[in-house]
Chain A
Amino acid sequence: MNAYTYEEIEIGHTETFEVTVTEESLDAFRGITGDVNPLHRDDEFAKARGMKGHVAFGLLTASYLSALAGVYLPGKRSLVQSLEIKFASPVYPGDTLTVSGEVTEKNDAYRVLRLKVAVRNGKGEKVLRGTMQIGFTEEGHG
């Protein structure tokens, strides 16, 4: 796990990791959220609506941004404040995703980072894009 401090991070700092979306991760997400919509489990239903098969939950794809902030950028001291995202293309079970974030802005007064975030599939297509605002936790409170 990374543990960058605010001062160590510069504009342009980028972190990337890969993750494969599995049927198990869809099952886990379904169990947590209760979203039993057939688009995410029924191939016939999904194909009748123009998909290649059942598709991963958009918010499952977005959930990897939690690891981007909490493990990679800035890592241990991360405190996610806001997230704005768009789902650009469907994600299917078996897809290996590349999750990336680049620091585009720093605010010294509030010690806050703004990141441009993106998730790409194995073909390099952007399946998610957006922005994320992240602060830093500090010891000594409570």
Chain B
Amino acid sequence: MTREEVMERINRIFRDNFDDESLVIVDETNAEDIEDWDSLEHINLVMAMEKDFGLKFNLKEVGELKNVGEMADLILRKLSV
């Protein structure tokens, strides 16, 4: 899977999660950019990504992420293992 494909799937997950088809996610997007992205939605996003990509994250991995681009990189690393 290419990084572009990962970002496309992440974008879809964000749109579904926030019920907003106009959301455009870029590498730099973080919780400050989306009003409803609070701690509870963060859990929902991580769970949705685990399900969608068939992966499991640990708390340390997701706790270190600063933006969506870093999440995409983490997913790519885990997919390549």
| Those of A26-85 within 8 Å (CB) of chain B | 81-82
Q: Closest B-chain residue to A108, C-beta based?
A: B56
Q: A interface, by DSSP: helix, strand, loop or mixed?
A: strand
Determine if B50 is an interface residue (Cβ-Cβ < 8 Å): yes
Interface centre among A81, A107, A109, A114 (most CB of B within 10 A): A109
* Residue pair A81, B40 in contact (C-beta under 8 Å): yes
Q: A105-B47, A109-B62, A110-B47 are in contact. List 16 more A-B contacts (CB 8 A).
A: A82-B40, A105-B51, A107-B47, A107-B50, A108-B56, A108-B58, A109-B58, A109-B61, A110-B43, A110-B46, A110-B59, A112-B43, A112-B47, A114-B47, A133-B43, A133-B44
* Residues of chain A whose beta carbon lies under 8 Å from any beta carbon of chain B: 81-82, 105, 107-110, 112, 114, 133
